[in-house]
Chain A
């Protein structure tokens, strides 16, 4: 099998086991752990998680596909998520999205997402999961060219 958790993660799993009454509850934390480790969740990783959680592979797979933040494909580009929900739209998210698609879609994967709980900083996006708020096209250029 080509996937195994790192030494460090195996230690974490051992201590996490004590935190939950049943091993099944480890599925989400371990999916996160696998994704952190590899950048995505491979079939082999789900197999390992299925063993840790004492649940069938298909259950782990069905859980992994339910949640939008789990990635089952290896990302080829860095990810920018743009919020498209109402507070952001009212403050110009469409302009931000357009700017991103026109200028950055070659080097970044641009994904539209629903409200990220940052409506006071609308319009907003995330870069590698980090929040960037009160965006303008110019500010985006500054951040993306500095990264």
Chain B
């Protein structure tokens, strides 16, 4: 069931060192790279259908084009903030195959015409960013990076310091500029991001790590995997009540239940499945009967009222309390709201506190109504989609498991 494109070298001992990386095909795409013009390369990425793997699934090629169309100084920023609960895939690339990321960054910089790039790594990942730093140093030494490289690229690691919201791309750039991580207002028409006023491409670690394969093997090799609308593979992650939690790469479109059973080893202790949060904590929960028919791609999860998100599945068994699970997530949202927008700052606090009453079984019907109406108000005008996502999470729990909330009413 696994298809290894990005994770091909994960099991190879010392694949994080340049010597072993080179023996196992790293930097091979660079030979092909320079036979293409930058625009040809962007066209290949467009043809491959590569979609952003940070949660949104935006087509990568179109984003690259936006940045490439600008003249002058541009930047590539790789998003390694990875703070979405249930998500731990990018860290595998940083720790197990950092040269794949560096190779992808060189390809991407060449395509968009940038020579300066940053990797924004969440502060907690010190161990993994250190591994990446060693790999970067090695690449500089061998002139794969730096001014003496065939195509000069500078890579600087920038460490975050504990703020979930800095994964949102505009907050990330604020943080990279030396500010608090506050998301920016979104432009009305498609625009790239801007770093100190210069056009900037922000892509997820895994998106960039998928690029060398496409450069080397062509767009068709990529579209041969996955579905029509979601080509290729994803480093799906699985945690919670399963026998074998971990990260296993698979093609888009595989069955969620098959994945849980074959790769996740099934529900822990042979218990029955109750629900799955399919793609990181911000995606609406799916009850078992929908899990059985769910496919792991953007479109099919959308049709059943959820989203693929980061592909990080959290599995809950028959004994899990949905009230406790929602409380856990709302505490997270309350804690992580950046505080700029009133509906988000006040709303996340309010729903979190309301859930305490359900936990204590002292809730009233009015509390349930409050939960619903506050949740609705969070899905309105906010600067970023953090609050709407929280609202969707609440809605999902109430839609499928309202009876458990009713049981907590006095």
Contact = CB atoms under 8 A, between A and B. Distances in A.
Nearest to B242: A120
B320 interface: yes
Interface residues of A, number: 43
B196 A87 contact: no
Nearest to A53: B178
A135 interface: no
A119 B85 contact: yes
B159 A120 contact: no
A91 B123 CA distance: 24
A67 B161 contact: yes
A115 to B, nearest CB: 4
Contact of B82 (A114, A117, A129): A117
Of listed B87, B124, B198, residue having the most chain A CB within 10 A: B124
Of listed A20, A113, A130, residue having the most chain B CB within 10 A: A20
A31 interface: yes
Given A67-B160, A119-B239, A89 B178 contact: no
A122 interface: yes
Contacts of A55: 178
Nearest to B165: A66
Contacts of B156: 16, 19-20
Contact of B335 (A62, A114, A130): A114
A31 B90 CA distance: 25
B198 to A, nearest CB: 8
A86 interface: yes
Contact of A68 (B159, B162, B245): B162
Contacts of A115: 83-87, 281, 332
A140 interface: no
A99 interface: no
Contacts of A131: 127
B245 A25 contact: no
A110 interface: no
Contacts of B53: none
B295 interface: no
- DSSP class of B's interface residues: helix, strand, loop or mixed? mixed
B179 interface: yes
Contacts of B332: 85-86, 114-115
B162 A119 contact: no
Contacts of B154: 19
Nearest to B328: A86
Contact of A87 (B164, B179, B240): B240
A25 B124 contact: no
Contact of A122 (B239, B316, B325): B239
B177 A62 contact: no
B177 A70 contact: no
Contacts of A130: 127
Contact of A120 (B88, B164, B316): B88
Nearest to A70: B161
Given A29-B159, A86-B329, A117 B281 contact: no
Contacts of A66: 163, 180-181
B151 interface: no
Nearest to A122: B239
Nearest to B247: A120
Interface string B320-340: 100011001101100110000
A32 B136 CA distance: 20
A28 B247 CA distance: 31
A27 interface: yes
Nearest to A22: B196
25 contacts: A20-B156, A24-B177, A24-B179, A25-B176, A27-B178, A28-B160, A29-B159, A55-B178, A63-B178, A68-B161, A70-B161, A86-B277, A86-B314, A87-B86, A87-B240, A87-B314, A90-B241, A90-B314, A90-B320, A115-B281, A117-B82, A117-B83, A117-B87, A120-B245, A122-B239
- What 4 pairs across the A-B complex have the smallest Cβ distances? A67-B161, A69-B162, A119-B239, A68-B162
Interface of A: 16, 19-22, 24-29, 31-32, 53, 55, 62-63, 66-70, 84-87, 89-91, 113-122, 126, 129-131
Given A28-B158, A84-B331, A119-B312, 9 more contacts: A20-B156, A25-B196, A27-B178, A67-B162, A68-B162, A91-B240, A115-B86, A115-B281, A119-B240
